[in-house]
Amino acid sequence: MKNILLNNGVEMPILGFGVYQIADQSLCEQCVYDALMAGYRSIDTASAYGNEAAVGRAIRRSGIPREELFVTTKLWISDAGYDRAKKAFTKSLELLQLDYLDLYLIHQPFGDVYGSWRAMEELYKAGRVRAIGVSNFYPDRLVDLILHNEIVPAVNQVETHPFFQQVESAALMENRGVQIESWAPFAEGKNNLFTDGVLAGIAAKHRKTVAQVVLRWLIQRNVVCIPKSVHKERIVENFDVFDFELDAGDMTAIAALDRNESSFLDHRDPEVVAWLCNL
């Protein structure tokens, strides 16, 4: 496993397992357990996913020492603000059955972001979380947060996949010392990602799957990725990406797939903002 060094010296696995949209508690627990048995040591969840308790049960069931794991969860909009953020953090820890978190993220750039960040800075200084960061922050929101607070976010988790590569945003994050992390690395199959001719051709060349090629492409760009699957064989397959390397031609071909637009939603669209804030 390749680790990424965050801006505070904490190491984070470049490949983890995500549990977005695994609402069934038993299924989520089994998937996380399967991922841990396959070798994953980084697990990404969120309070909004409603499955933190299932993740916690899987971690306990695995018997893997806590210090070997990297656990991320996120603060939802309805819990934004100084006091509410601290309460939400404690609730997440209780559901996960953990004494500390490795990474705590502001899930969306809405609500009382600054009150939340002050609370998170205090939690970080108290040693209750090893690193703090954000998710879905466009460059302007990220820079604004950095300039008006003491601690620079360690991570910004944003939509990143072959059709939305975040090249300029990634460069800005690197310049500011913020690690980019991909959500939806497979674009949830949109734009026929799994049958795309370019990706399929590269996969055949390396005797790998399209999913493995996409993850390898992200890893070679130093983008942390958290693929999700509810199928054990694919969970194992997605972890098997460290025994090959894409060449310059492969990377150039994938770069040409970039549409430079979200495949899901625009966080600057007023209707999207209203929808997210009312969830």
Q: What is the pLDDT along the chain (279 residues), one digit of tens a residue?
A: 899 999 999 999 999 999 999 999 999 999 999 999 999 999 999 999 999 999 999 999 999 999 999 999 999 999 999 999 999 999 999 999 999 999 999 999 999 999 999 999 999 999 999 999 999 999 999 999 999 999 999 999 999 999 999 999 999 999 999 999 999 999 999 999 999 999 999 999 999 999 999 999 999 999 999 999 999 999 999 999 999 999 999 999 999 999 999 999 999 999 999 999 998
72: closest CA among 32, 39, 112, 34? 32
What is each CA distance from 163 to 16, 107, 114, 251, in whole angstroms? Answer: 21, 22, 32, 13
266: closest CA among 276, 251, 258? 276
Rounded CA separation 95/49 (Å): 12
Provide the CATH number for the domain formed by 3-277 in this structure.
Answer: 3.20.20.100
- Read off the pTM: 0.97
Report, as residue numbers or ranges, the catalytic residues.
49
Residue with tokens 């699957």: 229
Rounded CA separation 213/15 (Å): 13
Instruction: Judge contact between 165 and 258, C-beta under 8 A.
Output: yes
Residue ranges of domains in the chain: 3-277
What pairing do the DSSP bridges indicate for beta strands 103-106 and 42-44?
unpaired
- Torsion angle, alpha carbons of 113, 119, 120, 126, to 10: 170
Instruction: Judge contact between 229 and 126, C-beta under 8 A.
Output: no
- Two tokens at 213? 């090629």
Specify which residues 132 forms β-bridges with: 104
Specify which residues 155 forms β-bridges with: 179
Rounded CA separation 193/99 (Å): 39
SS3 134: strand
Instruction: Judge contact between 216 and 246, C-beta under 8 A.
Output: yes
